[in-house]
Amino acid sequence: MAKLYTPAMAAIDRKRAKHKGPVKQSTPAREAWKRLKRNRLAIVGMVILILLILTAVFADVLAPYEFDEQMLKERNQTPSRAHLMGTDNYGRDILSRVIFGARISLPIGFLSVIIAFAVGGTLGAIAAFNGGKVDNYIMRIMDIFQSIPPMLMAIAIAASLGNGAVNLVLAISISTMPARSRIVRAAILTVKQNDYIESARAMGASSRRQLIKYMLPNAIGTILTSFTFSVATAILTVSSLSYIGLGITAPTPEWGSMLSAGKEFMRQAPHVLIFPGLMIMITVLALNLFGDGLRDALDPRLQ
């Protein structure tokens, strides 16, 4: 049969060809973002998180009063137009204190997790990459650290170093470091099994290149996800330590220490407790929602 190629067919082929290209670039990160956008709860979490960060940055502008401004005439007031969240037993505006509190909890939370991941994560990566003896030595040392519950360890470190933001960061990062090293190690070990690591070796890629261009970019999703969850835990730890008087002390408006201070007046003025408590809850919830969404978005199995 003679092959008939009519102008109409040519037009269709051209149209199809046009339809196909140029191919829109879609990087793995962009794909992940597309999946994340679909998850409404994660976006809610993200928005709350951004609002919280903005609150911390612009606390000076947002807060109606100074956080340590004592209006002794207006002690333990219930929420009103002048004081949207009421006042505490020194007559300080709770809204202002809560806003300034974001400046304490968020940086300490993030910083301590960053340090824990930087130190623990590097050790974990070294252990996973080298395997064998190196892995064994590093992980056994981590095991020793991990045999002490992190909270107890944080209390011990905070108690011995004394109060203050810097010491709090140290206490939390040291106590959580072993767990973070395990996360990074597991992530790299999983990636290491893939054929593309072997193909990189076959191409002659150096160990450094294998780690930086092949293993880390593929492990970063898992690490990022656990990072958000870790920040949530760290913020809870900050508050808990402050609550028992080991972290940030008055008059610095840390949410945990505000809870602690307010517990005596729980019956007369519950709002003193409710608002800082609510802030802790919202922050942790937002981080967890966002972390959940991030995990789903970055998990290649769901693609």
Partner 1 sequence: MNEILQVKNLKKYFPAAGGTLHAVDDVTLSINYGETMGVVGESGCGKSTLGKTILRLIQPTAGEILFEGQDITFIDQKKFKALRPKMQMIFQDPMSSLNPRMSVSQQIAEPLCIFKVFDSREALYNRVLELMDTVGLARRYFDTYPHELDGGRRQRIGIARALALNPKLIICDEPVSALDVLIQAQILNLLQDLQKEHGLSYMFITHNLSVVKHISNTICVMYLGQIVELCNTKELFGKTLHPYTQALLSAIPIPSLKNRREKMLLKGELSSPVNPKDACRFAPRCPYAKEACHNSSPELVDVGGSHKVACHFVKEINGI
Partner 2 sequence: MTALEIKNLVVHYETPEGVAEAVNNVSLSISSGETLGLVGETGAGKTTIALTIMGLLPRPAGRVIKGEILVNGENVVETSRRKRKLHSKDKMLRKLRGSSMGMIFQDPMSALNPVMRVGDQITEVIRLHGNMSRSQSVKRAKEMMELVGISSVRYNDYPHEFSGGMKQRIVIAMALACNPGVLIADEPTTALDVTIQAQVLELMNELKRKFNTALLMITHDLGVVADICDKCAVLYAGEIMEYGTVEHIFNNPRHPYTLALFNALPSLDKDVERLKSISGLMSDNMNLPTYCTFYERCDKRCQRCSEGDPVLTQIEPGHFVKCFHLAQEQEDKANTPASEVLLNE
**For residue 42, how many other CB atoms are within 10 A of its CB?**
22
Task: Select from 78, 80, 136, 194 the one that contacts partner 1 (CB under 8 A).
Answer: 194
5's CB contacts (< 8 A; 6+ apart) are: none
The option from partner 1, partner 2, none interacting with 4 (CB < 5 to 8 A, set by class) reads: partner 2
* Least distance from partner 1 to the Cβ atom of residue 220, Å: 9
3 binds partner 2 (CB under 8 A): yes
124's CB contacts (< 8 A; 6+ apart) are: 138, 180, 181, 182, 183, 184, 185, 186, 188
Say how far apart CA 246 and CA 115 lie, in whole Å. Answer: 20
Stretch binding partner 1 (CB under 8 A), from 74-82, 214-222, 253-261, 277-285 = 214-222
Stretch binding partner 1 (CB under 8 A), from 17-25, 173-181, 228-236, 290-298 = 17-25
The option from partner 2, partner 1, none interacting with 16 (CB < 5 to 8 A, set by class) reads: partner 2
Nearer to partner 2, 12 or 72 (CB): 12
* Least distance from partner 2 to the Cβ atom of residue 5, Å: 8
Residues facing residue 87 across a β-bridge: 93
SS3 14: helix
SS3 3: coil
38 binds partner 1 (CB under 8 A): no
Task: Select from 14, 30, 38, 40 the one that contacts partner 2 (CB under 8 A).
Answer: 38
CB 173 within 8 A of CB 182: no
The option from partner 2, partner 1, none interacting with 12 (CB < 5 to 8 A, set by class) reads: partner 2
118's CB contacts (< 8 A; 6+ apart) are: none
* Least distance from partner 2 to the Cβ atom of residue 16, Å: 7
Nearer to partner 2, 23 or 202 (CB): 23
In the chain, DSSP finds a helix count (H) and a strand count (E) of: 14, 0
CB 192 within 8 A of CB 125: no
SS3 162: coil
AA identity, residue 31:
E
Stretch binding partner 1 (CB under 8 A), from 87-95, 156-164, 190-198, 244-252 = 190-198
13 binds partner 2 (CB under 8 A): yes
Nearer to partner 2, 26 or 160 (CB): 26
Task: Select from 9, 29, 152, 278 the one that contacts partner 2 (CB under 8 A).
Answer: 9
Task: Select from 22, 162, 208, 267 the one that contacts partner 1 (CB under 8 A).
Answer: 22
Provide DSSP, 87-138: B-TT--BHHHHHHHHHHHHHHHHHHHHHHHIIIIIHHHHHHHHH-HHHHHHH
Strands (E), 149-272: none
Stretch binding partner 1 (CB under 8 A), from 32-40, 44-52, 191-199, 232-240 = 191-199
202 binds partner 1 (CB under 8 A): yes
213 binds partner 1 (CB under 8 A): yes
Binding site residues, partner 1, CB under 8 A: 21-23, 25-28, 31, 194-196, 198-206, 209, 213-214, 217-218, 300, 303
